[in-house]
Structure 1
Amino acid sequence: SKMPPKAIKMPGSYRRNELTLKEKVKLIRESEKTGKPHRELAMEFGIGKTQVGAILKKKRTYLDEWGKNANSDAKRLCIRSPYEEVNVLTWQWYQRARAPNLPISGPLIAEQALKFAASLGLSTFKASDGWLSNFKKKHKLTGAVASGESVDVDKDTCDDWLARLPDITQGYQPRDIFNLDETGVFYRALPDRSLAPTEEERDGSRHCKDRLTACLLVNQCGEFEKTLVIGRSAKPRCFRNIKLEDLPVVYKHNKKACMTNDIYNDYLTAFDKRMERQERQVLLFLDRTPSHTRLKLKNTKVMFLPANRMSLLQPLNQGIIQNIKQHYRKRMLRYLLTQINDSPPNSTNAATDLAKDIDIHNAIIWLYYAVKDVLPTAVTKCFAKAGFPTAPDETLVTDDDDDSELQGVLTEVVEKLQLPEPMTARDYLEVDADTPQSEGLSTGWESQLLEDFVDDRSGSPTVESESETEEEGEPQKTSYKSHQEVLTALRDLQVWAMEKGLTEVLTHFTAAEDLIQKDSIQ
């Protein structure tokens, strides 16, 4: 009898080999970059042509999973579970609970998932060891289930994230890659330990009326969006003659002067609309906090930084915020020196008396110019330091991080005010470093999370509550009633500048005169 013919192995035919998510993304990028035919890609990656076609057909899905920091070694996309809503809710709960570094154990995750399932009427859901294991694997969490040890993002997440960044940012120009972060500002803080905010005021357990929160939004080219400043008063008295929309910043308020869900949503939605008007698709990186909730934005793709490595991966934390505070505090100390030189202090409370004259309007103006003082190249350097790809020929010149200029002004203020426990420039910059910038987890936040989830699923509108209005500070006073009076005053200032030989100051006064003249004839 004849032997059956041997099977002929055709070029490009391979035993089915399942690629990992990382390999699929590599294949997709290779296809986009080179335009190679499916046959060539199949040979290169050791898979069949049909598999290549299937991967490229689902490339948006794979790239989205990659961008969400999904398991790079996974070979299959997660199949949608009948309990998907429980999974999504539990992950949202975990992210918010971990934001303030609360320890979260495996059993606690399972317990919360059961509560959500019961609330959603999913009586057949069982938070089994298998479910918990899959949940932790999907979100790359580590920790023993049985022992109740705390779980956290895998220690390799940081390196994995840095490896993914080039793929995540691919297709976006540096001007379309943004970072957002908040920082607390004690805007009247003096460089003296005995007058510094208390520990309770710094950690947020006791309200401090002299604090603001600044939310900064900047792209990789060093272009800042309008800074968001959050105070305690709806309409401070120093704003009495000023329209909020005329301020050089976006001003919002709440009782704790910190970021909230509503303020964040409004600010980010307004940003997204600006990007839409400019016909730009942008990528925004930010940290996970209780107030940074997921939004449906049209032109802005939001990427959350790995929870346990935010200080290393957040560009604004690589020196930009410190640089801004350096500029702010120099302006504030120079203001104090001017006040001292014009009217020498004659009381032991001179320092606190002078600080009380600083109002939110002063702080906003100084903060606005402090942001403008930051060099774009310094911002680009901080993005590079956080691992963001940078053009090889880009010169990363930065601001001088030396505190000597600030220390010089600080020393003069200390001497003239005879401060008893003076700080160094470095300590002065860190005076509000540990201040919480976002609202914490309030009582009943888990119920609110469930309510918001159900509302979002049903499309019900959320009701915005009104914040209590309170006033602080003294009203801004001006004796100028007309353009002509202002122009007359400016001419006096021009003469003063010429007498003092202040050529640069004279240039600014002249520029101001031109602007006011243009405004008067409109």
Structure 2
Amino acid sequence: LLGPLKFRKRVTLSIDTKLEILKKLDSGVSLSNIAVEYGIGKSTITDIRKSQEKIKQFAKEAKDNGTVKSRCIVRKAADDAFDKAMHLWFAQERSKGTPISGVMVTEKAKVLYREMYPDKGENHFKASTGWLCRFKNRHGIRQLRMQEEFLTSDWNAAGVFKNIFKSFIEQHELTRDQVFNCDETGLYWRLLPNKTLADNSEKQGKNFKSSKDRVTLMATANASGDFRLPLVFIHKKAKPPCFANVTMSALPVHYYSQRCAWMDKGIFSDWFFKHFVPLVKDYLTSKSLPIRAVLLMDNAPSHPAIENLLTEDGSIRCLFLPRNVTSLIQPMDRSILENMKCRYKRNLLQRLLLGSMQFESYTDFCKQLTIKDAVYMCAESWSEISAESLRRSWNTLWRCIDNTEPDNLENNEQMEINQVDFSEERQLLDITMEEQEEWLNADKHENGHPILSDHEIIELVRETAQPDSDSDKEGENAKKIPHMQAEECFTACLQWLEQQPEATPINLMMLHKLRTLAAKKLVSNLKQSTIKDFFKST
């Protein structure tokens, strides 16, 4: 007689586990070995392989919510757009430190649903307890209850975090070289002082000024001030006409595009793994330091969950600052960004004055200023921040580790900003100190992520990803500089520099190398042209 049938115990696999299985299949592990390891049948593995695109897409969307590890079923909400709108509102409120309860979420859901679907009746969506539970499960929200979360005592929160930070640094044995901070800011990149755009000959000056074209910048440096990464530069267009024929990877910034020129989770994650991690590893290797580092940042809605910002071996990771304390202890927020923007604006005025003979008016100058000009001026302004300033910006936070006495940090920071002298430009442009301050502070409170209204949230989730419809066609036919012209220009520049007292061996050798590069490309083109002519003649 046959013995009793043995049934395999049912195993429920999370999305995270399914991704592990797909990774092993890609690396050549057999179905039999995987089946034994996870206690599942081969048919289950085959089903996972057939659904791999669907699983990977779902995991990509869920990754930033921190829900991949807990989810088991690839299933979206019945109304995906409304679900995204609600989660965007929730993340935005939590980033501001707003205490949120379950009742607040359900009441907000009713209001947002009525605004999103005004044609549907009030009873069409009831925001039931069941809906709330499913919403929490989809987005990995563990609990909803009213909490103060340090809202009433920012300095107390900062003190608590300093103890956490100290323990973290000691536990992982990190030095100043291995601890980094990043922060975003908005910049009105071609905004000039009011008076320069309001002279008698330009009635439309103020209208142009009011556009306030904005880009988002993110600065990153370590606590020793010894290493700074190139700025992250976010503009609305992926490749504006001024970048036609330009090698984007050679720019002095990490250039990204986003519909509204904001930082978002996708951009941040891409930058972290493609730029931050490799550059930090190279830097630590050059310093003969262990490959261990931490990136300190604020808990903005544009930043992914920290569990998704981690290298496979866990050697490079991120740490969130608590809400409402960034202005108190975040290094990059302590006048570093303000200092950099001041330097950019001084460079902008100097560019205006140096090129004043080439432009018919101030408005003409602004219109001819390209985003490529802004990229180079931003990179130059960032390089002008001294290593000592970067190191000193960490003093408030790092003091808990080395027990150094506090210095006059506020005075030092203000002194650094005051060193950006506008007196000459102010005199030439005939603007007052008050007008200068108003201009410098115009984008002071611009951060790298938006605070959206309900209407803006709805519009955002309804929009589909489409290529830039307003991208200029002229970029396709932009003039490409011939190799011969480049070689002649470098030769002239070299002769000019050799006659200047400011010339240095490094600068001269750089021009020599560039002239040689242009000459080699010219010769190569001539050879190809000769071969082509030969085949035509035969």
TM-score, length basis structure 2: 0.59
- Structure 2 match to 1:212: 215
- Structure 2 match to 1:187: 189
> In the aligned structure 1, how far is the partner of 2:483 from the partner of 2:405?
48
Structure 2: which amino acid aligns with 1:228? V
Q: 1:315 touches 1:382 (CA, 8 Å); kept in 2?
A: yes
Cα 1:445–1:194 change in 2 (3 A) is: closer
Q: Deviations over 1:370-408 (max 9, x none)?
A: 111111110110011345556579999978525365322
Are 1:242 and 2:246 matched, yes or no? yes
- Structure 1 match to 2:14: none
> In the aligned structure 1, how far is the partner of 2:278 from the partner of 2:456?
31
Q: CA deviation at 1:445?
A: 11
Q: 1:118 aligns with which of 118, 130, 147?
A: 130
Percent identity, aligned pairs only, is 21
Residue 385 of structure 2 aligns to a residue whose secondary structure is: coil
Q: CA deviation at 1:330?
A: 2.0
Q: CA deviation at 1:195?
A: 4.7
Corresponding pairs, count? 382
User: Superposition pairs for residues 217-296 of structure 1, below 5 Å?
Assistant: 217-222=220-225, 223-271=227-275, 273-274=277-278, 277-278=281-282, 280-294=291-305, 295-296=308-309
Q: 1:414 aligns with which of 414, 426, 429?
A: 429
Q: CA deviation at 1:432?
A: 1.0
Q: 2:185 touches 2:446 (CA, 8 Å); kept in 1?
A: yes
Residue 485 of structure 1 aligns to a residue whose secondary structure is: helix
5+ residue gaps, structure 2, are 1-69, 71-83, 110-125, 138-142, 199-208, 283-289, 522-538
Residue 434 of structure 1 aligns to a residue whose secondary structure is: coil
5+ residue gaps, structure 1, are 1-79, 81-88, 126-130, 143-150, 197-205, 452-463
- Structure 2 match to 1:328: 344
Residue 141 of structure 1 aligns to a residue whose secondary structure is: coil
Are 1:435 and 2:446 matched, yes or no? yes
User: Superposition pairs for residues 109-508 of structure 1, below 5 Å?
Assistant: 118-119=130-131, 141=149, 156-170=156-170, 171-192=173-194, 195=197, 208=211, 210-222=213-225, 223-271=227-275, 273-274=277-278, 277-278=281-282, 280-294=291-305, 295-298=308-311, 299-340=315-356, 343=357, 350-387=361-398, 389=400, 400-403=415-418, 405-415=420-430, 423-441=434-452, 465=465, 467-468=467-468, 470-471=470-471, 478=481, 481=484, 484-494=487-497, 498=499, 502-505=500-503
Residue 333 of structure 1 aligns to a residue whose secondary structure is: helix
Q: CA deviation at 1:468?
A: 2.8
Structure 2: which amino acid aligns with 1:214? L
> In the aligned structure 1, how far is the partner of 2:453 from the partner of 2:334?
30
- Structure 2 match to 1:54: none
> In the aligned structure 2, how far is the partner of 1:326 from the partner of 1:357?
21
> In the aligned structure 1, how far is the partner of 2:403 from the partner of 2:157?
26
Q: Deviations over 1:145-187 (max 9, x none)?
A: xxxxxx7777621221223322122211111111111111111
Give the stretch that moved more between structures: 113-122 or 155-164. Answer: 113-122
> In the aligned structure 1, how far is the partner of 2:169 from the partner of 2:422?
39
> In the aligned structure 1, how far is the partner of 2:348 from the partner of 2:240?
20
Structure 2: which amino acid aligns with 1:434? H
- Structure 1 match to 2:76: none
Cα 1:362–1:505 change in 2 (3 A) is: farther
Residue 325 of structure 1 aligns to a residue whose secondary structure is: helix
Q: Deviations over 1:291-343 (max 9, x none)?
A: 11212411332111111111112111112111211221222111111112xx1
Q: CA deviation at 1:230?
A: 0.5
Structure 1: which amino acid aligns with 2:161? W
Structure (1/2) with the larger helix percentage: 2
> In the aligned structure 1, how far is the partner of 2:406 from the partner of 2:482?
49
Residue 394 of structure 2 aligns to a residue whose secondary structure is: helix
- Structure 2 match to 1:48: none
Q: 2:334 touches 2:393 (CA, 8 Å); kept in 1?
A: yes
Q: 1:183 touches 1:213 (CA, 8 Å); kept in 2?
A: yes
Structure 2: which amino acid aligns with 1:97? E
Cα 1:511–1:118 change in 2 (3 A) is: farther
- Structure 2 match to 1:12: none
> In the aligned structure 2, how far is the partner of 1:392 from the partner of 1:101?
30
Cα 1:159–1:95 change in 2 (3 A) is: farther
Q: 1:275 touches 1:281 (CA, 8 Å); kept in 2?
A: no
Q: 1:384 touches 1:390 (CA, 8 Å); kept in 2?
A: no
> In the aligned structure 2, how far is the partner of 1:446 from the partner of 1:425?
35
Structure 1: which amino acid aligns with 2:367? K
TM-score, length basis structure 1: 0.61
> In the aligned structure 2, how far is the partner of 1:169 from the partner of 1:410?
45
Q: CA deviation at 1:121?
A: 6.2
Cα 1:344–1:368 change in 2 (3 A) is: closer
Q: CA deviation at 1:517?
A: 5.0
Structure 2: which amino acid aligns with 1:297? L
Q: 2:396 touches 2:406 (CA, 8 Å); kept in 1?
A: no
> In the aligned structure 2, how far is the partner of 1:366 from the partner of 1:221?
25
Q: 1:325 touches 1:370 (CA, 8 Å); kept in 2?
A: yes
Q: 1:181 touches 1:286 (CA, 8 Å); kept in 2?
A: yes
Q: CA deviation at 1:357?
A: 1.9
Cα 1:247–1:395 change in 2 (3 A) is: farther
